[in-house]
Structure 1
Amino acid sequence: MASPNVTSKTFTLNTGAKIPAIGLGTWQSKPNEVEKAVEYALRAGYRHIDTALAYGNEAEVGRGIKNSGVPREEIWITTKLDNPWHKRVPEGIDSSLKSLGVDYVDLYLVHWPSSTDPTDLKKHLPDWDFIKTWQEMQKLPATGKVKNIGVSNFGIKNLEILLNDPSTKIVPAVNQIELHPNNPSPKLVAYNTEKGIHSTGYSCLGSTDSPLASDKTLFAIAEAKGKTPQQVLLAWGLQKGWSVIPKSVNKGRIEANYELDGWELTPEEIKKLDNLPDRFKVCGDAWLPVKVFFGDDE
């Protein structure tokens, strides 16, 4: 079970670093909204901010961090290497650091196991794959620009390829994956745990199109607890053992998503959420030049 004081909770990574259990996600946040959202979140107590080069908002995130007045060393910043940058890892991290206005990030992830041709995003680089990308990623901690390295959207099949390659000397500290009751991926989470890889759940609130938006079981639990459905979903993830990065740009919702101290879901409530029948994936792989999801993680 998670600690009742979950806003101060951290998870210890295989590097010994401690990642804050709750972070602010910034994917799909509109321009000119992220800066304020990051500032709101940090002033509300968040100490974990998640972004990516692909989101196009790193500069706004950086301004929000600066405007919050919270010292840089108190904030965990995660960003990600974009697919067309796989062959240019040093340039990728330098671009992100410049946009964010910081000297280092706490976690740098390979955003997708897809080495995309920068001149044609519908094509995979013929002479490059994520094994070569990881070889370059492994050089970053020694530069001081990156404290921890990890992956995102890696299923069991691709993790097996990565971990079994002789060139892999550093096990990813984190695998950031889509996690909510409509996409719980228990086999993948268990695999991550077995290999010493921490799971971070993105799209942890589902989405407006998800069956969660109108799920009667979820709403009944929320009503019984006197909490919002979003708070229940976050508690579910935390008590399952992964960090969560809910996205919002609304000040009230950002604050509410952080109000998780002093209460827990019961084992029965967790079981009910575990057994929701619907399956829904917010983020698929049809837009990529290679398949990365194989339906084997359930």
Structure 2
Amino acid sequence: MENVTLNNGVKMPVIGFGTFQTPPALTEASVARALKTGYRSIDTAQVYGNEAGVGAAIKNSGLARNDLFITTKTQTDGYNETAKGIDESLRKLQLDYVDLMIIHWPTQNSLETYRALSDAYKEGKIKAIGLSNFNPTQIQAILDSNDVKPTIDQIETHLYWQQNKIAPFLTENEIVHEAWAPLGEQYAKEMMQQPEIVELAQKYNVSGAQILLRAMTQQKIVVIPKSNNEAHLQSNLDIFGFKLTDEELESLKKFDQHHSIKDWPVSMRESVY
């Protein structure tokens, strides 16, 4: 496993297991399978409704807590609701702390929501705090209002939207770029069938998905692919045995369409900031 180091010194695996749209009743088994396969970073969220399943899988895994990296996201708005939500997440996850908690998307009271996260960080309930779906203007407002710098911005990123416009801002402010939908969701098959991706997959004797994920992790972009297929679970994790050349990485930039496949939130459109 490769890691990225967040701006507060915390180390985070560069690949994790996502639980978006995993039904609560299936979450424990899904996460248990991922942990057994070798994943040590798990991504959940309050709005997913499956934190309890993640917590049960962790508890029953037999793994040491310090070997795991657990992320969840607030769906709250404002200080008091966020503070309550943090404690509720810890209860559902059956944890004394989470490794990373991020604001799921910007709200009218993002500054107060972030203040609740920063206070919980100072209390040791959270080891690192960050953002999701925030554009540079919104991130700058957070930076200007709080002495705890966000460590990460989790944003839609894949072959068709490489987020090269926001990347320099994130780098300049020492904020890690994390990709949701790294395989492009409904466009995954189309992406993997691009001739250039097929050619690279054949060259390195790997799958198209492995090429797509490796291209991002080589650029220190954290990825959280999701799969309930055991073979795909393993192959998504097994991406560190090869390395794309600089020229090959550069060649993939031509696929960037500079826009979302979901168009959510609108504030992330490249034309907005």
Q: TM-score, normalised by structure 2?
A: 0.92
Answer whether contact 2:77 2:113 (CA < 8 A) is retained: no
What is the aligned-residue RMSD (CA, Å)? 2.0
3-state SS of paired residue (1:270): helix
3-state SS of paired residue (1:292): helix
What is the distance in 2 between the residues matched to 1:168 and 1:191? 18
Q: Deviations over 1:113-136 (max 9, x none)?
A: 124xxxxxxxxxxxxx21222222
2:124 to 126, 132, 144: 144
Within-5 A mapping of 1:216-227 = 216-227=195-206
Structure 2 residue 35 is the aligned partner of structure 1 residue 42: yes
1:111 deviates by 0.6
- Would the alpha carbon gap of residues 241 and 277 (structure 1) be closer, same or farther in structure 2, given more than 3 Å must change? closer
3-state SS of paired residue (1:134): helix
1:271 to 250, 266, 272: 250
1:296 deviates by 4.2
2:207 to 225, 228, 235: 228
Q: Who is 1:124 aligned against?
A: none
Q: Who is 2:4 aligned against?
A: 11
What is the distance in 1 between the residues matched to 2:180 and 2:53? 20
Unaligned residue ranges in structure 1 (runs of 5+): 1-6, 116-128
1:177 to 155, 167, 179: 155
1:159 to 123, 133, 139: 139
3-state SS of paired residue (2:170): helix
What is the distance in 2 between the residues matched to 1:62 and 1:213? 33
What is the distance in 1 between the residues matched to 2:74 and 2:41? 18
Answer whether contact 1:186 1:297 (CA < 8 A) is retained: no
Q: Deviations over 1:34-73 (max 9, x none)?
A: 2222112212221111110011111111122223221222
What is the distance in 2 between the residues matched to 1:297 and 1:74? 40
What is the distance in 2 between the residues matched to 1:142 and 1:277? 39
Higher-RCO chain (CA-CA 8 Å, sequence separation at least 6): 1
1:279 deviates by 4.9
- Would the alpha carbon gap of residues 220 and 33 (structure 1) be closer, same or farther in structure 2, given more than 3 Å must change? farther
Q: How many residues align?
A: 272
- Would the alpha carbon gap of residues 280 and 31 (structure 1) be closer, same or farther in structure 2, given more than 3 Å must change? farther
Structure 2 residue 186 is the aligned partner of structure 1 residue 208: yes
What is the distance in 2 between the residues matched to 1:235 and 1:16? 24
Q: Who is 2:47 aligned against?
A: 54
Q: Who is 2:113 aligned against?
A: 133
2:239 to 260, 284, 292: 260
1:246 to 218, 225, 233: 225
What is the distance in 1 between the residues matched to 2:148 and 2:10? 14
Answer whether contact 1:156 1:297 (CA < 8 A) is retained: no
Within-5 A mapping of 1:105-120 = 105-115=98-108
Answer whether contact 1:58 1:100 (CA < 8 A) is retained: yes
Answer whether contact 2:14 2:223 (CA < 8 A) is retained: yes
Answer whether contact 1:32 1:60 (CA < 8 A) is retained: yes
What is the distance in 2 between the residues matched to 1:266 and 1:130? 40
Structure holding more helix per residue: 2
What is the distance in 1 between the residues matched to 2:21 and 2:174? 30
Answer whether contact 1:20 1:76 (CA < 8 A) is retained: yes
Unaligned residue ranges in structure 2 (runs of 5+): none
1:106 deviates by 0.4
